[in-house]
Chains A and B, each alone.
Chain A
């Protein structure tokens, strides 16, 4: 139990579906992240939210749409995905300190395993 909760843990969707992944943290952190982990690729940073503002989208396709309504919640909205989007999607949170950018330890959720048919 890391304090970061992701739902659903498993999701199967067709290419025309719309679904959302949810992430919740109650650690008092002020930064949240979405990472994608594929079988043959390392962790890929998708989005970073710092103080509820998106600071990086890392050239992710528009079929992935993040939303961060407050510092405790993060969503990843999925629309018309492709089979190659099947992967483990990991949410993480951390505490950013002031001054020169400094990210503390990342706490990861257990991930949402997505399969696109």
Chain B
């Protein structure tokens, strides 16, 4: 039932790009993305509410394909501050259940 994220881990140099994917076996109402740094609570990045919606947050953007029950997070020109574990959260249709994905650990080096 837990959404599956890929890849599990990413290592980048500053300035490089990355894509994190998330897919669910359940029908979805919306997708959330969060970033968690070591020893800290997850922090909200963005919500996508409609199939096909794309949103941006500085150099981080995301898309949501409702029909495929998939979402992707795009990180461009990565910065050291982007390091952390990224989680997608998928809101199952007709429920209040926000189920988090398996997580993707991102490390950005100078």
Contacts and interface: CB of A to CB of B under 8 A. Distances in A.
Interface of A: 2, 31, 33, 35, 42-45, 48, 50, 55-56, 58, 90, 94, 96, 100-111
B84 interface: no
Interface size class of B (residues with CB under 8 A): 20 to 34
Interface stretch (B9-17, B62-70, B71-79, B98-106): B98-106
A45 B103 CA distance: 14
A96 B96 contact: yes
Give me the 10 closest cross-chain CB pairs, A-B, nearest first.
Answer: A108-B41, A43-B100, A105-B44, A42-B103, A50-B96, A42-B102, A110-B41, A108-B42, A48-B96, A55-B96
B29 A109 contact: no
A90 B40 CA distance: 10
Contact of A101 (B34, B47, B91, B102): B91
Contacts, number: 68
Contacts of B100: 35, 42-45
Given A101-B93, A103-B91, A45 B44 contact: no
B96 A45 contact: no
A105 B91 CA distance: 11
A35 B97 CA distance: 11
A59 to B, nearest CB: 11
A66 B2 CA distance: 22
5 contacts: A90-B42, A102-B30, A103-B91, A106-B34, A110-B41
